[in-house]
Structure 1
Amino acid sequence: MASTPLTDIDLLNCAQANAKEGLESAAQHCGYGEDSSRFMAALQEAAQNKGITLKNFSDLLNFDDLQPSSGEAIAPESPGNL
């Protein structure tokens, strides 16, 4: 159990690892204690920062199926144009 609330990828990994135990248990393991609403807000922000839309906590059960939101890819036409 984390002593301080996890953030970013650490939070996503912790939440995914504890998703089967439920929202309240995952919140505790990730350092949010009994504040599941703050946990869920931080989790959605962390997912959004990675380009993933996380609508519900149960989406974590199929986390491998989640895809980053679509966006425009910007890249040079060839490696020589870097």
Structure 2
Amino acid sequence: MSSQTRLHGTELVDCARANAKQGIETAAYQCVYGDDLNTFAQELRKACEEMNLQAKELTDLIIDQDMMLNLGEGEIVAPDSDSQL
């Protein structure tokens, strides 16, 4: 892990969002912050502010679409092909 660079900015937000459901420890580890949860949280807040995202907690990064996919609810409506609308 020492050879990897900690993520920042949009890369940090994307990684944290992708791992948010597994908890802060997993998200911090995957974003190369190891067990330094305080620095991870500070950098994530900073990155969210720079992107004008209103996320006070890691779970705020989980968007409604992600939650619907996990719940198995809803129906996906899409054309059969690119040429059919």
TM-score when normalising by structure 1: 0.70
SS of residue in 2 equivalent to 1:14: helix
Structure 2: 5+ residue stretches without partners:
66-85
CA offset at residue 4 of structure 1? 1.4
How far residue 62 of structure 1 moved from its aligned partner, in angstroms, is: 2.6
Number of the residue aligned with 1:7: 8
RMSD across aligned C-alpha pairs, in angstroms?
1.9
Give every structure 1 segment of 4 or more consecutive aligned residues whose post-TM-superposition deviation is greater than 2 Å.
Answer: none
Instruction: Report % sequence identity.
Output: 38
Match of 2:58 in 1: 57
Matching residue of 2:28: 27
**Structure 1 gap ranges (5+):** 65-82
Conserved 8 A contact 1:16-1:63: no
| Aligned ranges 1:39-54 → 2 under 5 Å | 39-54=40-55
2:17/2:58 contact within 8 Å kept:
no
Structure 1 stretch 37-46 or stretch 51-60: which is displaced more? 51-60
